[in-house]
Amino acid sequence: MILPSLVLILIVGGIGSWIAARRSEVFARWIALGSVLADLSVCLGIWVGHLGRSQSTPKSWFVAFDLAWIPQFGIRIHLAIDGLSLALLLLTYFLGIMAILSSWTEIDERVGFFHFNLLWVLAGITGVFLAMDLFVFYLFWELMLVPMYFLIGIWGHERRIYAATKFFLFTQLSGLLMLVAIIALAVLHKQSTGIFTFDYEQLLETALTPRAARLLMLGFLVAFAVKLPAFPFHTWLPDAHTEAPTAGSVVLAGLLLKTGAYGMIRFVLPLFPGPSHELAPVLMTFGVIGILYGAVLAVGQTDLKRLVAYTSVSHMGFVLLGVFAGNETALEGAVVQMVSHGISTGALFILAGLLQERMHTREISAMGGLWETMPALSGAGMVFAMASLGLPGLGDFVGEFLVLLGAYRANVPLTVVATLGLLAATLYGLRFAVNAFQGPNPHHWQLPDMRPREWAMLGLMMACLLWIGLYPQPVLNSVRQSLAVAQQSTFPQEVVRR
């Protein structure tokens, strides 16, 4: 019951926060924080207990839960956790805590309902990373959408309804394509084996014709590409990030985008190895386009949140490149990039929220000389800006380096072009750091520096980025076995070495 409890704690905690807010908004916040801390503690316990499991058999799970739910349709509540899902769950709860802390003073209306929606989004994300029954996976996939729609639509900024509706339509329509593909895969499995099931491990053995495999793969791929988001399915992202409250932006950038990458690694590669191998050059090309496109557009942004949103398009392009590069090094780099990007970009959105709370603007041109009045906050901003542009010693550098190293083995020209994205990242990172924090203080700002709660948030995030940047081995050891299974099923060793 450990794995179901991860979801149930968040669901019950969300309801409890909503009810408690009628008497005390502070108590509601503490209930939400305690719920996420409880899940983080459980996952840390699992991680510590399985540090040596990286050399275990490929198909073993650290923890699993399997219960019949709707037997006549072969639907089971099958949850399982391995190194890949555990790393992403730890990221989920860490950023969930940061999201709650960042909204501690920002959200002062409908506080209970806000935390209800926030915890239910985290519950949906948890289920996505745990579900090994594709029907249950789809239910959790959809569970993420509605509360995130409310987070943007109720507590967002000026164009919040437009941004929330655009987000919902993009993700809902692409999700319906995936549902069709899931049902079709289960039907084809029944035709070949006589068993109607949505169980992931059984569906791995489904015999598919090349044409059927391509069509089904596209159904999954489009849903995951929209959530990633990959070029050209990215257009919902800048609006959603810009209009969302700080906590919503942290969850969107740090977690929801990672569900798309996770889906590609967990489902697209193992279920459809043939089409994945065939389309790998095309998908790598789209990844490189996303790297350059996002970085170039980020350079031209004046709104801080919109700038950070376009950097997400660029960074997730590295993830797409690594997933389909066809070797374990690139895949490991993609996962490290997912974790590091979640922390660094989440921190930048928190920073944008703190600056907007103090200055009532997100326009970079309206800032300048902030180091003079807020040295600690400006120093933190410099660190996260450097992390975003890939400074060695911080987590993003490790992910991007491993992705480029692995991609170089697969496609040299694309890798060379992808490195140009690093140059553009330097431009937008330095532009933000210099224009916001350095130089004179023309507006003569007199603003409060970081408070203890803000020190705790940004300090922990800096420590995590330094840890991953200087010693990424625990993360790599945790995910290596899971990634080896996905990579070897799609890209045989003789192809990788070619």
279-323: pLDDT as tens digits? 999 999 999 999 999 999 998 888 899 999 999 999 999 999 999
pLDDT in tens, 109-140: 899 999 999 999 999 999 999 999 999 999 99
**Given a cut of 90, is residue 351 above it in pLDDT?**
yes
Alpha carbon 37 to chain centroid distance? 19
Distances (CA, A) of 246 to 114, 160, 180, 283, 315: 12, 13, 34, 31, 20
Name the token pair of 474. 């625990």
pLDDT in tens, 11-58: 999 999 999 999 989 999 999 999 999 999 999 999 988 775 544 444
Angle at 175 between CA 270 and CA 87, to 5 degrees: 50
Name the token pair of 178. 């995936």
- Nearest 5°: phi and psi at 303? -85, 125
**Given a cut of 80, is residue 339 above it in pLDDT?**
yes
Cβ partners under 8 Å of residue 66, min gap 6: 76, 77, 78, 79
Name the token pair of 369. 């000389």
Which string of DSSP letters, residue by residue, matches 36-92?
HHHHHHHHHHHHHHTTTGGGS-TT--SEEEEEEEEGGGTEEEEEEE-HHHHHHHHHH
Amino acid, single-letter form, for residue 44: L
- Helices 395-410 and 375-388 cross at an angle (nearest 10°) of 10
Task: Quote the domain boundaries for residue 476.
Answer: 2-496
Q: Number of folded domains in the chain?
A: 1
> Which pLDDT score is estimated for 75?
92
Alpha carbon 314 to chain centroid distance? 14
**Given a cut of 60, is residue 451 above it in pLDDT?**
yes
The per-residue b/e assignment along 225-261, b for 16 or more CB within 10 angstroms, e otherwise, is bbbbbbbebbebbbbbbbbbbbbbbbbbbbbbbbbbb
Average pLDDT over residues 84-97: 95
Name the token pair of 479. 């995910």
Is 92 in contact with 121 (CB distance < 8 Å)?
A: no
pTM (two decimals) = 0.93
- 62 vs 445, more confident: 62
Kindly indicate the confidence band of residue 488, based on its pLDDT and cuts at 50, 70 and 90. low
Provide the residue count of the chain.
498
Cβ partners under 8 Å of residue 451, min gap 6: none
